[in-house]
Structure 1
């Protein structure tokens, strides 16, 4: 098949996306497909007549993930016309030539449903869920409302617009996060009023709304799902602090155990909640849901990730490997189940 791996963009998760894209590109090339690794924002300005046959070094644009967020303003400066058209040169035309577009995008404009809606209108086949479930899952406040409605336990909390007064008293410690962020960018733990104000300021750097929720002290888990069925659970234990941007993407920063050390009953219950959350958000094909387990054993679903990371240290590939699915096989499976829709 001719496959475009779409990555990059201008979200705070740009670097993660490019590394995911590179890994996917290498895998599907190794599987015998013709592939293009395309930055959705920067595009490609060369001749696209034989884009899938041309010998182009697509990986030259990819660098390692740094400990800090990428310089998005620097990226935007590379395309002065970007406000008129989010898509870089020839992006749509190249995607229209593909049998399928493998979505390796993360964060805003990759997981909020806008690109998916555009592709639907243009008849472009892509991996992952559709635009409606993408939009629902991107909004953490709305996700929590849906979880509650469908009986999926989630931490208590509220959403807050910038400049608005809190609708209820804040209990410390608490978590403050950007409403539509990802990779734990704009997420802070606040133990007092001073830290809370700083946490709000940090969240509002990335979004006009924030979610404030109870802090759950305990163990952290994540569950990938393929076609709505839960994979083995992975436990995440950062060596320092919480599972923030640095701990997610710097090798050796976190101890990850899959399958997680849970009783059979706990495993069954958490996987059931994950499958229920997947269905409640109307997710399709594949996704990943994150959980906390309190010290008393209570489980809480935090959020859904509609395009899980596919870097060498990402969780979904580790969970698939636990049941004998290699990275290359996982890429093929994600393509196959997405082509069914």
Structure 2
């Protein structure tokens, strides 16, 4: 099968996406597929002959991709390096490659990858791709909208609301301590913890430096857990324990910074509660193929659903591969299943 793995992009999660894409690219090659890895934003420079035969080229498309840094990349640098593209967001030859592939594996994260825009574009072009459709991707990417969906479905979620830059602030509705976070961010970029009212303005200013929409929600103290859903069925849960501070960008991606326990050391009852909540969130948002839901479990073992990730990290050591491994699905087989389940959408 000819598979194009799209990674990179122009979001703050660019570096994570490239490492995810590299892992998926190598796994699918080991499965015997003809695979190309490409940066959706930077594009790929090929001669006419190379483009025509790209899926049979003897070339390592992952060469030169570096590990994830301690801080998220400065996207403006990449925009300057690339310059203007005749295909807008899409880099050189990307749309041509998409049309040549049997399916596009989306290893993108964050804005312009996980928010439904890529999915809608591929739908209009009649191109098959992995994961959820554009409507549910857009809903899940907007944390304020996700919260409204959870509340309507009676899924426990922290109280909060969305705020637009320059818009009115509902001071009386804020419960301290609280969390200020960008509405469409990921990898814990643009997330700030506020203990008292005096700290709110600074947190808002920092969050608004990333985008014009933020969410303010109550802070829930407890154990941080995550649970993936594969084809509608919850996988084993993971407990996340940073060695210091919160589970921020640095603690997520630097080796040894965080302890990830899979399966989590929980009672059978609590495990089932988290898994049930994950499946309910998956259904409420009408997700497809796979997703990962993030939770806080408080001291009374109430399960609070924070958000859904429709294109979660897919590096070999990411959370979903860990959960799949716990039920006997190795990394290569997981990537293969995601392709097969995604193709089933089109039957």
Where on the TM-score scale, by shorter chain, does this alignment land: which range? over 0.9
2:26 — aligned with what?
Answer: 26
What displacement does 1:312 show? 3.2
1:161 — aligned with what?
Answer: 164
Matched, 1:60 2:63: yes
The counterpart of 1:215, out of the listed 197, 216, 219, is 219
**Can you give the 5+ residue segments of structure 1 that lack an aligned partner in the other structure?**
none
Q: State the Cα RMSD in Å.
A: 1.2
Answer whether contact 1:251 1:313 (CA < 8 A) is retained: no
The counterpart of 2:237, out of the listed 224, 233, 256, is 233
Answer whether contact 1:45 1:90 (CA < 8 A) is retained: yes
Q: Distance in 1 between matches of 2:200 and 2:87?
A: 37
Deviates more, 1:104-113 or 1:256-265: 256-265
Q: Which TM-score applies when normalising by structure 2?
A: 0.96
What displacement does 1:209 show? 1.0
2:35 — aligned with what?
Answer: 35
1:255 — aligned with what?
Answer: 259
Matched, 1:202 2:206: yes
Q: Distance in 2 between matches of 1:207 and 1:320?
A: 34
1:108 — aligned with what?
Answer: 111
Tell me the matched-pair count. Answer: 341
Answer whether contact 1:3 1:33 (CA < 8 A) is retained: yes
Matched, 1:316 2:320: yes
The counterpart of 2:141, out of the listed 138, 141, 146, is 138
Answer whether contact 2:226 2:294 (CA < 8 A) is retained: yes
The counterpart of 1:177, out of the listed 158, 178, 181, is 181
The residue correspondences of 1:58-137 to structure 2 (distance < 5 A) are: 58-82=61-85, 85-137=88-140
Q: Which TM-score applies when normalising by structure 1?
A: 0.98
Q: Distance in 2 between matches of 1:70 and 1:82?
A: 21
Q: Distance in 1 between matches of 2:75 and 2:198?
A: 29
What displacement does 1:259 show? 0.9
- CA displacement, residues 117-138 of structure 1 (integer Å, 9 cap, x when unaligned): 0101111111110000000000
1:13 — aligned with what?
Answer: 13
Answer whether contact 1:101 1:126 (CA < 8 A) is retained: yes
Q: Distance in 2 between matches of 1:262 and 1:45?
A: 50
1:268 — aligned with what?
Answer: 272
What displacement does 1:84 show? 6.5
Answer whether contact 1:249 1:313 (CA < 8 A) is retained: no
Deviates more, 1:299-308 or 1:68-77: 68-77
Answer whether contact 1:113 1:131 (CA < 8 A) is retained: yes
What displacement does 1:195 show? 2.2
- CA displacement, residues 114-171 of structure 1 (integer Å, 9 cap, x when unaligned): 1100101111111110000000000000000000001111001111111223224222
- CA displacement, residues 213-265 of structure 1 (integer Å, 9 cap, x when unaligned): 01011100000111111000100010111111111111111111111111111
What displacement does 1:266 show? 1.1
SS of alignment partner, residue 168 of structure 2? coil
Q: Distance in 1 between matches of 2:219 and 2:86?
A: 38
Answer whether contact 2:227 2:235 (CA < 8 A) is retained: yes
